[in-house]
Amino acid sequence: MYNFGMVFVLLFPLLFLIPLNSFGLPLESAKVFVESVKDGTLCSDRFKDLFRTDIGEAALLLYLDSCSDLKGVSEPKNLYGKLKLASLLRREGREKRARELYLKVFSETNDLDEEVLLANRGNTAFLFTPRVIRKKVWMAARKGEIDTALFYLSYLREDPYYTYLLAYTLMKSGKREVAKKFFYSSNQDGRYYFLMFLSRDLLEKISYYRLLMGSSAPTSFKRSATFYILDRLFQEDLGLFRKNLRYARAFPGIYSYYLARYYALTGNCEGLKELKGLPAEALYSVCSGKGWERKDLSFYDLILNPPERFPFSKERAFSRLSLEDRGLDYLYRSGFCSVISFIERPSPQNALAQYLCGNYRAGIMLALPFKRKLNRFPYLLPVLYPKPPVFGDDIVSLAIARQESLFEERALSRSGAIGLMQIMPFTGRDIARRLKVKGFKVHHLYNPEVNYRFGSYYIHTLLKRFKLFPLAAAAYNCGPGRVRRALKKFGAVRTPQDLVLFTEVYIPFQETRDYVKRTYVNLYYYSNLYGKGTEWKIFSKH
């Protein structure tokens, strides 16, 4: 009898010797797909065999749209596909399974409600369970679809979450004071999170924060609230900051980080020396005057110990932008980028295929797991830092847009920021006025040319005002007024050490501090890949 445990031990190391590119799409599978689509032979067993390959999702969707035999058909990930499969199952008399799929679609999105309700007209009771309706109210309110949220709320009047969800909906509609009253009268622990944000009095905020930390509210609420309250207290009352820092012990990384900020502000170098983690170690380097030992191409490395040269071969990266995966290459050359967009397997070749197809966001996400292997896969450099044509040679805007949207033209944030460079509607209207754009409408920001033009104008205006890219980036994220106030407290940023201290200690929001660091790293790569290689050198000693 085989000892399978021993066999695994012997074979496991060999897995790391198999080239990552070998896990690709077979050329034969790609040919079958293309030929079947062109010939219209989608209902054959040969086509159904593709369901088990990387292009299985695309094949399944096409099959469901054209064929009626459901033998061997699995559930698609795509919600439209689930809807189609539910319809076909119902036609076959498999009502229970059809309802399960309709319920999945109904609970996962509000965008297909009309299709689901029409398909089940006369018998929708199974869809309107309290758990599902709560989720639909939350989804609608979060996206600002207030009428939809209120419609579904009407089905929850006797539900224990009714008051809580009504308060959330009112808050998202801008009725903060009314929302606060409803949150206060609700019985869900999550109310403390929102009451903390809605309260204007600082001591009241602290009171709700402490109640939240002692409640059974979601951990994500507690983490977010900890960042918020500690940032607020750090700016306004260091005494209260010290008293409430203990609540952050529930999150050791957050506790250590804010303690490092406090030590840096008060000049406690010895305290910084005892703390671990990049921010604390960088602040200790600044405080003590000791040199910085480069660890990676992080923000701190680029600022405190900048590399003399770009450590990657740009020539190698751009000379190998062709697909070695024969199946993917066949699809690409056949014009089937829409099919490639369905392939989710993380691999260098799939990342490159997405990039070549203009699916920049997907390319970046699929390439990220291999970023530490750029010497092995140099072609992933332009995949990770792409340059969509609309940006031309504007590396400053590229550095911003990569962080803002990963170059997703239709991106829409929870706060309402739109497009490639995530421009808020009121900012768009202001820029349109400055640029004398006639007939501007907010939806024009979904046009990549308009979005780039407006965003580029804004970031370059901020760069002229604040001189240093990290300061302009901070202003782009949290507003120029906040950056001006922070600079008034700190003074002029003249040295690399000044910039590290200003970024970590004086910029008011955690989100903005992270934003500054990430966009500056972006600028470094874009400068070396597409610019002169000097644009990132914001201090003369660089």
For the stretch 261-297, pLDDT in tens is 999 999 999 999 999 989 999 999 999 999 999 888 9
Angle at 37 between CA 35 and CA 38, to 5 degrees: 65
Q: Is residue 79 part of a domain?
A: yes
Q: Output the CA–CA distances (angstroms, integers) from residue 306 to 115, 287, 294, 538, in the order listed.
A: 56, 19, 8, 11
pLDDT in tens, 384-397: 999 999 999 999 99
- Give CA–CA dist 433/455, Å, rounded: 14
Q: What is the rounded average pLDDT of the residues 390-405?
A: 98
- Give CA–CA dist 173/534, Å, rounded: 46
Q: Is residue 167 part of a domain?
A: no
For residue 120 the two structure tokens come to 């089940």
Q: Is residue 512 part of a domain?
A: yes
For residue 194 the two structure tokens come to 């929102």
| The three-state (H, E, C) secondary structure of 263-293, written as one string | HHHHCCHHHHHCCCCHHHHHHHHHHHCCCCC
* Average pLDDT score, the chain: 93
pLDDT(23) > 60:
no
Q: Output the CA–CA distances (angstroms, integers) from residue 276 to 122, 261, 288, 384, in the order listed.
A: 62, 13, 15, 29
Q: What integer pLDDT is reported at residue 140 of this predicted model? A: 97
pLDDT(6) > 70:
no
Question: Where does 294-394 have alpha helices with state H?
Answer: 299-304, 314-319, 326-333, 337-340, 348-356, 360-367, 380-384
- DSSP letter, residue 504: I
* Angle of the 79-91 helix axis to the 56-66 helix axis, nearest 10: 40
**Residue with the two structure tokens 């062709």:** 322
Q: What's the CATH code of the domain at 471?
A: 1.10.530.10
User: Considering 69, 88, 119, which residue would you say is the last residue of a domain?
Assistant: 119
Pick the closest to residue 380 from 404, 351, 414 (CA basis).
351
Q: Output the CA–CA distances (angstroms, integers) from residue 540 to 306, 464, 495, 502, in the order listed.
A: 12, 17, 9, 18
In this structure, the dihedral spanned by the alpha carbons of residues 151, 152, 156 and 160, taken in order and rounded to 10 degrees, is -120
pLDDT in tens, 465-503: 999 999 999 999 999 999 999 999 999 999 999 999 999
User: Considering 119, 147, 179, which residue would you say is the last residue of a domain?
Assistant: 119
Q: What are phi and psi of 496, to 5 degrees?
A: -55, -40
Q: How many CB atoms lie within 10 A of CB 46?
A: 10
User: Considering 84, 99, 119, which residue would you say is the last residue of a domain?
Assistant: 119
For residue 193 the two structure tokens come to 């999170």
Q: Is residue 441 part of a domain?
A: yes
Q: What is the rounded average pLDDT of the residues 313-325?
A: 94
The amino acid occupying position 462 is L
Q: Is residue 487 part of a domain?
A: yes
Q: What is the rounded average pLDDT of the residues 306-334?
A: 95
- Give CA–CA dist 282/272, Å, rounded: 9
Range of the domain at 426: 393-530
Task: Name the percent of the chain lying above pLDDT 90.
Answer: 92
Q: Is residue 449 part of a domain?
A: yes
The amino acid occupying position 279 is P
- Taking the alpha carbons at both ends of the chain, their separation in whole angstroms is 66
Q: What integer pLDDT is reported at residue 236 of this predicted model? A: 95
- Give CA–CA dist 247/244, Å, rounded: 6
Q: Is residue 151 part of a domain?
A: no
- CA 147 from chain center: how many Å? 27
| The three-state (H, E, C) secondary structure of 38-54, written as one string | HHCCCCCHHHHHHHHCC
Residue 469 CB-density burial (10 A; 0-12 exposed, 13-18 middle, 19+ buried): buried
Q: What integer pLDDT is reported at residue 542 of this predicted model? A: 55
Q: How many domains does the chain have?
A: 2
Q: Is residue 234 part of a domain?
A: no
Determine contact, residues 281/296, Cβ cutoff 8 Å.
no
Please tell me the pTM assigned to this model. Answer: 0.91
Q: What is the rounded average pLDDT of the residues 341-364?
A: 97
